[in-house]
């Protein structure tokens, strides 16, 4: 291996992160990375100081990314000032879902992109567009109508028709279910749901989920969620989510009977899914917390180093080993791992799933099982409490509070099944 290959190997991961941070399209980013490597190989002899290789390589990458954005702007016949790089780039950890409109525009012809940009982004009237493009007003009207239709055809989240019933009614009791180990090896899965809330933070998404006590199987709480639009918190772009909770345990603080509204801002990237902000009304006061508010936010909504969020691309890591109801392995705070493949039969439907175990991510002293199908969607979520969890509040260990409920043993410690969660995804 020559000097260039050694240096490129050493700094290749940094190069990938840099380009994928800047460029929203994965395939475009990969093409740029290849171009950077080729250019660097051809010009390596001109580098006088090999110790400056990293900065030199990233400078090449920056120039290639700028060329990419200039070409995009040129194809849309708009200035770089109008189409800022930030509108086409991503968040710190990967591709931001805010690019969905831009991605759809890329599927259209240049004329359609141009007229939609002028009409919606620049807020020009049809008359102003006609003047700017030196076109008859009739031509602008027909072209705009055609462009809107083409956009609707390609946009992945079409608007709902008026009068549609949006919410599936969750059952009062959870359907009977069975969980059986599969002899097949566990599969990797793309898990884009918000941890603990099951919704994918993407424009057009909505979901209803309910909590069900064991062993009664009765529904105690349910939540309706929907993504209501784009949002930005401290310069990081995501989407805003409206969550209406019914039957929540702490509704007495909200001033509303049996109903609580929350608002989230969340971000989905190619690699992670995370909360950026949460707000709710408490004692008549709207309270807002963001990822910069320290423990007040991180203890409830944060996850991972620097609140990077939960991983989207899940594969078995070998951190946890499970045999029946016994789990062993690495169980420090915030451990998530796939522990096996299971066939889940619920409500007469059969799902091929992997079981994702969560050790103390949801809460200290809490373990959860989350059964994900090959679409990365939750089929069933089950919570287990450490035997002494919140004993000061409930007065007894959970083996006495729920003596007939299923138990797990995690590194010799006893956890007791408390409740389950399903969503209208499986209904």
* CATH number reported for the structural domain that contains residue 12 in this entry: 1.10.1740.10
Q: Which domain holds residue 288?
A: 197-308
Q: Are residues 142 and 62 in the same domain?
A: no
Tokens of 77: 């016949």
The answer to the question of residue 101 being in a domain is no
Q: Are residues 126 and 36 in the same domain?
A: no
In this prediction, the residues of the chain whose per-residue pLDDT falls under 50 are 76-100, 157-168, 249-257
Q: Are residues 219 and 257 in the same domain?
A: yes
- Write down the pLDDT at residue 363: 64
Q: Which of 284, 308, 332 is the last residue of a domain?
A: 308
Tokens of 168: 């599936």
Helix (H) or strand (E) holding 310: strand 310-311
d(CA 422, CA 400): 26
The answer to the question of residue 29 being in a domain is yes
The answer to the question of residue 95 being in a domain is no
Q: Are residues 316 and 185 in the same domain?
A: yes
The answer to the question of residue 423 being in a domain is yes
What is the separation of C-alpha 208 from the centre of its chain, rounded to a whole number of angstroms?
17
Contact 303, 195 (CB under 8 A): yes
The answer to the question of residue 333 being in a domain is yes
Helix (H) or strand (E) holding 288: strand 285-290
| Mode of pairing for the β-strands spanning 219-233 and 206-213 | antiparallel
Q: Are residues 72 and 205 in the same domain?
A: no
Assessment of whether the complete model's pTM goes beyond 0.75: no
Q: Are residues 317 and 301 in the same domain?
A: no
Q: Are residues 256 and 334 in the same domain?
A: no
Q: Are residues 226 and 247 in the same domain?
A: yes
Q: Are residues 317 and 417 in the same domain?
A: yes
Q: What is the CA radius of gyration of the chain?
A: 25
What's the farthest any 2 CA atoms get from each other in the chain? 80
Contact 347, 426 (CB under 8 A): yes
Q: Are residues 220 and 247 in the same domain?
A: yes
Q: Are residues 323 and 413 in the same domain?
A: yes
d(CA 261, CA 251): 10
d(CA 27, CA 49): 32
The answer to the question of residue 331 being in a domain is yes
The answer to the question of residue 276 being in a domain is yes
Say which CATH number the domain at 126 has: 1.10.10.10
Q: Which of 37, 55, 88 is the last residue of a domain?
A: 88
Helix (H) or strand (E) holding 128: helix 126-133
Residue carrying the six token digits 């099944």? 417
The answer to the question of residue 34 being in a domain is yes
- Write down the pLDDT at residue 258: 60
d(CA 353, CA 10): 38
Q: Are residues 119 and 136 in the same domain?
A: yes
CA distances from 123 to 117, 128, 375 (A): 8, 10, 39
**Counted domains in the chain:** 4
CA distances from 360 to 290, 314, 365, 402 (A): 22, 18, 6, 20
Q: Which residues neighbour 414 within 8 Å (Cβ) at sequence distance 6 or greater?
A: 386, 387, 399, 407, 408
Q: Which of 289, 308, 327 is the last residue of a domain?
A: 308
Closest Cα to residue 15, out of 3, 312, 45, 23?
Answer: 23
């Amino acid at each position: 291996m020559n000097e260039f290959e050694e240096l490129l190997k050493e700094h290749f991961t940094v190069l990938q992160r840099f380009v994928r941070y800047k460029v929203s399209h994965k395939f475009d980013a990969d093409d740029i990375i290849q171009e950077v490597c080729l250019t660097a190989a051809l010009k390596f002899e001109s580098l006088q100081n090999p110790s400056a290789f990293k900065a030199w390589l990233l400078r090449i990458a920056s120039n290639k990314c700028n060329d990419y954005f200039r070409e995009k702007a040129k194809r849309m016949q708009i200035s770089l000032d109008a189409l800022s790089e930030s509108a086409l780039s991503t968040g710190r950890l990967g591709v931001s879902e805010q690019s969905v409109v831009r991605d759809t525009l890329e599927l259209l012809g240049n004329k359609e992109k141009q007229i939609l940009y002028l009409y919606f982004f620049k807020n020009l009237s049809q008359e102003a567009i006609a003047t700017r493009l030196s076109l008859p007003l009739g031509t602008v009207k027909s072209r705009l109508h055609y462009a809107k239709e083409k956009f609707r055809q390609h946009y992945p989240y079409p608007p709902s028709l008026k009068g549609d019933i949006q919410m599936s009614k969750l059952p009062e009791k959870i359907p009977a279910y069975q969980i059986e180990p599969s002899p097949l090896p566990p599969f990797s899965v793309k898990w884009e749901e918000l941890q603990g809330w099951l919704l994918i933070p993407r424009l057009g998404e909505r979901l209803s989920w309910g909590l069900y006590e064991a062993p009664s199987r009765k529904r105690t709480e349910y939540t309706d969620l929907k993504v209501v639009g784009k949002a930005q918190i401290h310069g990081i772009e995501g989407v805003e989510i409206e969550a209406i909770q019914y039957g929540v345990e702490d509704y007495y603080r909200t001033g509303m009977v049996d109903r609580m509204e929350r608002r989230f801002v969340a971000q989905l990237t190619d690699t992670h899914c995370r909360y950026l902000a949460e707000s709710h009304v408490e004692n008549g006061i709207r309270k807002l917390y963001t990822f910069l508010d320290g423990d007040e936010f991180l203890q409830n909504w944060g996850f991972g180093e620097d609140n990077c969020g939960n991983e989207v691309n899940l594969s078995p890591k070998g951190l946890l080993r499970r045999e029946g109801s016994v789990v062993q392995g690495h169980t420090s705070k915030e451990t998530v791992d796939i522990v096996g493949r299971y066939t889940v039969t619920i409500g007469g439907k059969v799902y091929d799933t992997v079981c994702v175990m969560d050790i103390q991510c949801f809460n200290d002293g809490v373990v959860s099982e989350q059964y994900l199908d090959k679409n990365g969607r939750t089929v069933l979520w089950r919570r287990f409490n450490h035997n002494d969890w919140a004993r000061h509040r409930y007065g007894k260990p959970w083996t006495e509070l729920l003596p007939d409920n299923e138990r797990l043993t995690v590194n010799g410690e006893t956890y007791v099944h408390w409740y389950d969660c399903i969503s209208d995804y499986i209904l």
